[in-house]
């Protein structure tokens, strides 16, 4: 199975991608993680990516395509988390996979309203355990508290401010609005509201058609 996961920021696609990749024995490839690893390396490319991300914009197609293709060229079964983000990337991905003789099985869209995105992410705290992508919303946690697992403080991500979130949502809708029609014959649409377990069960049930 070779699939891609979509959804707005805060839709839980990272959490669900972790669970689904483990359940179906797929390699989980997160474009967000690829970019964070590049930023952490301190390379010139990482510095450019940091500036783009902290401004609320998306990293260029050329950079993302290269990062993803290098990861998947020798992998048969995988889950792409947050890629492709636009029609151009989707076409490049299909061309790459068709040439490699391992076409994409399909796309999973996790939908939540914009109001829910803002509610979730303005209350998000992350720590080293989550590699910057965790979604911890709890009255028992506050910024600066120490995570009992990794020993690092919980903190807000710099791109979770209200202004940047609204900008990210505008870009998300502008760039992904054509993808649903592009993938229409191999698309699974999932309601992302509810508990993590409820959403996970919906996805697992729908994915049985591609197993």
Q: What is the pLDDT of residues 105-121, one digit of tens each?
A: 999 999 999 888 888 87
Exposure string for 85-94, b = 16+ CB within 10 A, e = fewer: bbeebbebbe
Vertex 160: Cα angle to 53 and 62 (nearest 5): 20
Q: What is the pLDDT of residues 61-100, one digit of tens each?
A: 888 898 899 889 999 999 999 899 889 999 999 999 999 9
pLDDT for the residue numbered 99:
96
Phi, psi angles (nearest 5°) of residue 99: -65, -30
Structural domains in the chain?
2-112+161-210 (3.40.50.300), 123-160 (no CATH)
d(C-alpha 136, C-alpha 150), whole Å: 14
CA distance to 42, 63, 146, per residue, from 179 (Å): 33, 20, 40
pLDDT for the residue numbered 172:
82
Q: What is the pLDDT of residues 117-144, one digit of tens each?
A: 888 877 677 776 654 444 444 445 676 7
């Amino acid at each position: 199975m070779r699939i891609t996961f979509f959804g707005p920021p805060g839709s839980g696609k990272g959490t669900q991608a972790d669970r689904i990749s483990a359940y179906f024995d797929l390699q989980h490839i997160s474009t967000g993680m690829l970019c964070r690893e590049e930023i952490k390396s301190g390379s010139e490319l990482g510095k450019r990516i940091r500036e783009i991300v902290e401004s609320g914009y998306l990293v260029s197609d050329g950079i993302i395509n290269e990062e993803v293709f290098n990861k998947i060229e020798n992998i048969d079964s995988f889950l792409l988390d947050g890629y492709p983000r636009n029609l151009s990337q989707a076409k490049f991905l299909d061309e790459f996979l068709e040439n490699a003789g391992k076409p994409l099985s399909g796309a999973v869209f996790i939908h939540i309203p914009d109001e829910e995105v803002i509610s979730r992410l303005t209350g998000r705290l992350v720590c080293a355990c989550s590699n910057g992508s965790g979604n911890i919303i709890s009255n028992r946690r506050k910024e600066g508290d120490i995570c009992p697992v990794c020993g690092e403080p919980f903190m807000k991500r710099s791109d979770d401010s209200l202004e940047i979130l609204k900008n990210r949502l505008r870009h998300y809708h502008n760039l992904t609005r054509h993808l649903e029609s592009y993938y229409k014959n191999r698309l699974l649409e999932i309601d992302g509201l509810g508990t993590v377990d409820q959403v996970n069960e919906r996805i697992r049930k729908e994915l049985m058609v591609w197993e």
